[in-house]
Structure 1
């Protein structure tokens, strides 16, 4: 049995790695994210603080047991006499009026809601980090694919230049320029591969493991998020209502105000009801040789009126007022930061979408230019430098187009996170836009141009 479990252990270890759809990866990343776990622990602690605040309204009971052994000697030379005394006391106290209890309960409730929103915020940030890591990998992989295709195209053009030089159709500088372009393309490819390796490591760290199946997929070239140009006010309204970060700041103000009320009520009197039951027994005392046993019980009320605390109570009130002002300022700062962040994300996403649409047209035009320059070179009306330059511009257009498309998705996910809406539906929508990854080939320009 143990041998069978040992053979199956690698399968269980590999199970998390098998999750390759984006919703599954998001769940896996959230489960392993340290920030999410930390805020989850803070939420559990806040729940217990609320239990403690409620418990302050209930009774408290104490049991005290005392046992003493005494040796008494009458002076100047009397006989030593030992005796023993035992006492058991049971006390119950029920608060009747303590003004600070209700503000403490309000503060605990606000802190619990604040911790819940902190957990939501950390989950949104973790999902945003995962989205950025995935899209950065896709973007870097496209750069590598484009650099590889460009290097191959430059290599083919170098071979053509060398053949032309051998038959006298090309000059030596054209061959040297083609060689320089090949060397530069190789350098760009090495840099792109190093960047891709780094992005894959970051993704594996964020996603809590390798994602080989995801790396075989890519965002469809025509897939872009939908973002109406006149919807910024809707996004701002949504963020104002749903942002966990802004709700945390509001709840921090509520908790600070409750702490202020709690501190000010430290001046107020308190009333408690007490019940005491005592059982005592002894074998004698210093003045009696007769043993005694007895029970007593008492019930009463205790009124406590605070008179003077050397200024500590008033100082505590001033402290809580300052903390309330701090929380109010942080709320204004959080609102301002949120508005700026939403506007920046909206403009960045809209700009990336516009660039993607414009660069798609530029790519098609540059593909036609590459084909035209290749034909011109074949018939002798274009030089090798013209072809190399056209191919380089096509590479830049495709690289920029890939960057714009992925930046649009990254900006859209950031916008959804800032407005408190990022969730499983967004991952499912992006996952539906993933297709099998196909390496880039500059010769596809002929197909796109209809040549």
Structure 2
């Protein structure tokens, strides 16, 4: 855990542009397994659509047959070899198959559904990356807060010990200061472990370590812009642009096409057939004369389904049930999306409000620290009072940092739910990153 400390200071000298957020997003998308799986599903859907179109076209088959037999006829039973060869080329062109068009519609809907699934996978991958980046920033600030507290409590312990030696402090004050230092050390160790974990999570999502990111931080004044009365606009965007909702709509369309396809299995079909046959033999069982000839034929085949033991109607009922299932999933997806957008919107607004309130609290605590330091200099405040004020200032800064990062995380989630998250968001957030500044630590001088 301690190895993180020199790393944090060493990274301050790295250039801020060494690892931009758009680069991390591109790298994460290229390596995300869900995105790769969705991309493969889209390629498969493309081939299914091609197959549905190909069903309208002709099919051709070539058949070659050869035989070698022997024939013996009474009364002499003299064996006579018979050899024959036949080559057939057959072409079949569908003229009317009612199920082909619904099958093509279903394949088209499934292809668009796979495309929406890929968009959804990309949005979720970007959202995971945004959360991981912001969690690293939060963990780093928590560590800085814990280190500042440890330093402050260490000074308080030193002052208490000096006061105890000259008789100005009691033993319980020293024990209390020691307990605070031990607690601060434990907080530092926990914060180091949390930062290490968050970096590992980010490295897994970004397909590699991101050490230069620790040298950057979101600018203190940078907050996402969000109108308090704009939730209806976000719901409208989500209704029209959300790939998750679009997938559910397309699933209903595909299910309806499958119902029509199953229903048309009752309908007759008409196919155009053409064949060309070339045969060659040295005789038959009734003739000793060799034959050689060619045969060309063209015709139409009408097929009328009469009875399938109820399987066709059962298939229709099955697809009707699947259509109802898809319709229910569409309603569920719409409800889930509306709830998610509202929650993300409220979370973003809440974090923004907290950030603004905590910014005011942080300024007030900074004034309190300066007032306690002046009181300490004139003898009306003790060292413990100054350090307590410093501790509250560090807590206010920690909470302010958490609120700002939570606001960005909720905002990115909101844009992902609405189908709006993209490269422009990463460029905008990257433009708000500045060089990370260590948390300042005011020190109180001992008057003993």
| Fold equivalence (TM over 0.5) | yes
Q: Deviations over 1:99-122 (max 9, x none)?
A: 000000000110110011100000
More displaced 10-residue stretch of structure 1: 166-175 or 98-107: 166-175
1:172 positional shift: 2.1
1:298 positional shift: 0.9
Alpha-carbon spacing, 1:373–1:180, altered in 2? closer, same or farther (3 Å): farther
More displaced 10-residue stretch of structure 1: 373-382 or 94-103: 373-382
1:8 corresponds to which residue? Answer: none
1:242 corresponds to which residue? Answer: 241
Name the CA distance, whole Å, in 2 between partners of 1:38 and 1:75. 72
Runs of 4+ in 1 over 6 A off after TM superposition: none
Aligned pairs for 1:428-443 within 5 A: 428-443=427-442
1:46 corresponds to which residue? Answer: 45
Alpha-carbon spacing, 1:223–1:234, altered in 2? closer, same or farther (3 Å): same
Give the length in aligned residue pairs: 428
1:335 corresponds to which residue? Answer: 334
2:77 corresponds to which residue? Answer: 78
Aligned pairs for 1:37-436 within 5 A: 37-75=36-74, 78-377=77-376, 379-436=378-435
Q: Is the 8 A contact 1:181 1:388 kept in 2?
A: no
Name the CA distance, whole Å, in 2 between partners of 1:320 and 1:118. 22
Alpha-carbon spacing, 1:54–1:444, altered in 2? closer, same or farther (3 Å): farther
CA RMSD of aligned residues (A): 1.6
Name the CA distance, whole Å, in 1 between partners of 2:69 and 2:232. 84
Q: Is the 8 A contact 2:372 2:381 kept in 1?
A: yes
Q: Is the 8 A contact 1:238 1:419 kept in 2?
A: yes
Q: Deviations over 1:136-184 (max 9, x none)?
A: 0000000001111111111122222222222232222222211111111
Q: Is the 8 A contact 1:133 1:203 kept in 2?
A: yes
1:28 equivalenced with 2:27 (yes/no): yes
1:3 corresponds to which residue? Answer: none
SS at match of 1:357: helix
2:8 corresponds to which residue? Answer: none
Name the CA distance, whole Å, in 2 between partners of 1:146 and 1:172. 28
2:6 corresponds to which residue? Answer: none
Name the CA distance, whole Å, in 1 between partners of 2:395 and 2:211. 28
SS at match of 1:106: helix
1:213 positional shift: 1.8
Q: Deviations over 1:69-88 (max 9, x none)?
A: 01112246511111101001
Alpha-carbon spacing, 1:444–1:400, altered in 2? closer, same or farther (3 Å): farther
Name the CA distance, whole Å, in 1 between partners of 2:298 and 2:90. 10
SS at match of 1:441: coil
SS at match of 1:228: coil
Name the CA distance, whole Å, in 2 between partners of 1:151 and 1:232. 43
Structure 2 residues not aligned, in runs of 5+: 1-16
Q: Is the 8 A contact 2:390 2:442 kept in 1?
A: no
Q: Deviations over 1:382-433 (max 9, x none)?
A: 4555444333322221111111000000000000000000001100000000
TM-score, structure 1 as length reference: 0.92
